[in-house]
Amino acid sequence: MNLLHANDRPGRYPPSLYAAARPLPAPSAPLTGALRADVCVIGGGYTGLSAALHLARRGYDVCLLEAQRLGFGASGRNGGQVGSGQRMDQRDLERLAGPDDARLLWQLAEDAKAEVRALIADHAIACDWRDGVAHLARSPQAAAHEAALADHLARHYGYTATEILDRDDAARETGARGFSGGVIDWGAGHLDPLAFVLGLAGAAREAGARLHECSEATSLARDGAHHVVTTAQGRVTADTLVLACNGYLGRLHGPTAARVMPINNFIVATDPLHAFPGVLPRGIAAADDKFVVNYWRRSADDRLVFGGGETYGYRFPADIAAMVRPLMERLYPQLAGIGIAHAWGGTLAITRSRLPHFAQPEPGLYTASGYSGHGVALATLAGRLIAEAVDGDAARFALMSRLPAPAFPGGPALRNPLLVLAMTWFALRDRLGF
């Protein structure tokens, strides 16, 4: 079974809050016949569209293939949070990568947020950007950990955009119960992810990239120094190939698939919160410190957009709202019984290290994926880094590719059952409060 087709109607956006918020563009024409390009990009999410945009701006002839609709995958369905840093605690990253690379990686993550803001401004993308993401801690020890990290970032990186929260602050800022404290990162923010990805698509088109929807890549091959990508109705021959498929890679490229695992995550959007002004009163987004993270924000039309819960097979649950509602009501008992206007699922990709996987497995082939729930900014920057590398400046791409990317154990047959076992254990720890 292919995740591109397991849960969604062919050529249609999933029925999310984001898809319902605007008239959706008509699909661009599928690829038909044989095509020649300098660069072929597979995947029409943040990474692929950003790569297409920046390569086209540099004068490359770019063809992008999207199996479904642009932004169909995690890029158009996620919680919309644009976070700081890498997915790993910066102090752990210092131990893993060394202080010099850790500092460079911090700056890359700052560049990623700046890239998102610049694209929004340069292309007038109406995606409801708002500042502020709270990181909430359930225990006093975890709250102290968050405060210590904020102090470390201020002293060693000059990052002073965080506001420390005690128990009362956390309750006042979120309206949620059960948190001992945390921080608000005012250098982070949140947005409507589908609006942002559609804005990227428009910018890529304006730059001259050729975008083909409903054009699933079915095989990859080499013809001498060239890459050949085959679809149901056509073929692209290109000097350079970019794999930007994330959780929807399937069997297209084994070395990348061995290091990137698709998982499903779920989101609901409530009826409007007019009667609940105490829920996120300053319009920030929030996330907790569970291993299987809960994350939420207040939308432009005043709904609570709440994400949580994961599955590791192919199929989404029949009743997504019933799965996510208890997680929301545990934090917000005042919302018990509120109407759920939208409920949807999506497939993202994780790595064993929770750090993204950047690689150049062979000449002229670039891949970036596995953002592990931290991809809005980093995936967008990844496209620029790929464009830089293709154009001869691979320094920033090489920095990301130095991050460890161990394969999942067990190969294709066992990696999913082993992941389910591990994630079940961590989910149990969440429920027990560890």
Tell me whether strands 285-287 and 130-137 are parallel, antiparallel or unpaired.
parallel
Nearest to 131 by CA among 87, 86, 170, 81: 81
Q: How open is the CA angle 366-371-374, to the nearest 5 degrees?
A: 140
Displacement of CA 433 from its chain's centroid (Å): 27
CA distance 261 to 369: 10
- According to the model, what pLDDT value does residue 405 have? 87
The CA distances from residue 185 to 85, 146, 162, 190, 289, in Å, are 11, 11, 4, 11, 15
Nearest to 181 by CA among 290, 289, 92: 289
pTM of the complete model: 0.94
Question: Do residues 364 and 371 make contact, with C-beta atoms less than 8 angstroms apart?
Answer: no
How far does the chain reach from its first CA to its final CA, in angstroms? 36
What is the SS3 assignment for 107?
helix
Residue 57: burial class (beta carbons within 10 Å; 0-12, 13-18, 19+)? middle
- According to the model, what pLDDT value does residue 2 have? 79
Domains annotated on the chain, with CATH: 3-77+194-252+353-410 (3.50.50.60)
Nearest to 25 by CA among 90, 64, 72: 72
CA distance 430 to 41: 39
11 phi-psi bin (left φ>0, alpha ψ -120 to 50, beta other): left
Over the chain (434 residues), the average pLDDT of each successive run of 10 is: 86 95 95 98 98 98 98 96 96 96 98 98 98 98 98 98 98 97 98 98 98 98 96 97 95 93 94 97 96 94 95 87 97 97 94 94 97 95 98 98 88 53 49 48
* Per-residue tokens: 344: 């949807």
Helix axes 375-390, 46-57, angle to 10 degrees: 30
Question: Do residues 267 and 194 make contact, with C-beta atoms less than 8 angstroms apart?
Answer: no
Nearest to 262 by CA among 335, 371, 339, 336: 371
- According to the model, what pLDDT value does residue 319 have? 96
- According to the model, what pLDDT value does residue 428 have? 47
Question: Do residues 317 and 9 make contact, with C-beta atoms less than 8 angstroms apart?
Answer: no
